């Protein structure tokens, strides 16, 4: 195995670990197993460090690959990525999680928007254009305020229903 391929394998393996466990946990585990003399053996922190690297280049790389091959998909995702970056849509990590769940992603890795956005765009790239268009239109309606309004309506409904007005299914369980 060449040095380049070993390096690529190592970087890919570390990316998987960082995605699943977070960079702090990976660093802590590495600190436990790496001897002190090898910890700083000529390896300097560069822009390849996931903590210092912006997710934007990853998103840009994904989108650049679509520019010539699929211009419609590229246009849709470029606009969406710009709106995400400017927080015009999916302003919070919870909004991104909710949207991801709504479009079929069971769990989206990452804690912050910065970590989640490349993963979300990576999934969206795989969707058929018609489904992508529908998904992106639905993103505009997802916000913390709308979720809170939904919870508020549900809470009001639950609190305002006297025991006698429960649906017949619930009456059977309690009675």
Confidence of residue 42 (pLDDT cuts 50, 70, 90): very low
**Looking at residue 105, what DSSP letter applies?**
-
Residue 19, Cβ neighbours under 10 Å: how many? Answer: 15
- The answer to whether the beta carbons of residues 151 and 143 sit under 8 Å apart is no
C-alpha span between 31 and 71 (Å, rounded): 45
Place of tokens 């998909």: 73
- Judged against a pLDDT cut of 50, whether residue 43 lies above it is answered with no
Half-sphere exposure of 173 (CA within 13 A, CB side): 6
Place of tokens 């956005």: 117
pLDDT score of 174: 55
Q: End-to-end alpha-carbon separation of the chain, Å?
A: 71
Nearest to 81 by CA among 104, 57, 46: 57
* pLDDT tens column, 123-163: 898 899 999 999 999 888 887 666 677 677 778 888 886 65
């Amino acid at each position: 195995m060449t040095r380049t391929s070993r390096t690529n394998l190592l970087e890919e393996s570390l990316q998987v670990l960082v995605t699943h466990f977070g960079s702090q946990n990976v660093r802590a585990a590495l600190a436990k197993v790496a001897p002190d003399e090898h910890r700083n053996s000529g390896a300097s922190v560069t822009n390849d460090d996931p903590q210092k690297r912006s997710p934007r280049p990853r998103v840009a790389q994904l989108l650049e690959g679509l520019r010539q091959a699929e211009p419609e998909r590229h246009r849709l995702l470029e606009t969406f990525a710009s709106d995400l970056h400017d927080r015009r849509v999916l302003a919070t990590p919870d909004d991104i999680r909710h949207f991801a769940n709504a479009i079929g992603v069971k769990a989206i890795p990452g804690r912050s928007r910065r970590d989640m956005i490349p993963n979300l765009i990576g999934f969206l790239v795989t969707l058929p254009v018609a489904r992508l268009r529908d998904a992106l239109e639905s993103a505009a309606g997802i916000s913390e305020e709308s979720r809170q309004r939904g919870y508020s309506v549900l809470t009001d409904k639950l609190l305002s229903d006297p025991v006698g007005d429960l649906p017949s299914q619930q009456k059977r369980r309690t009675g």
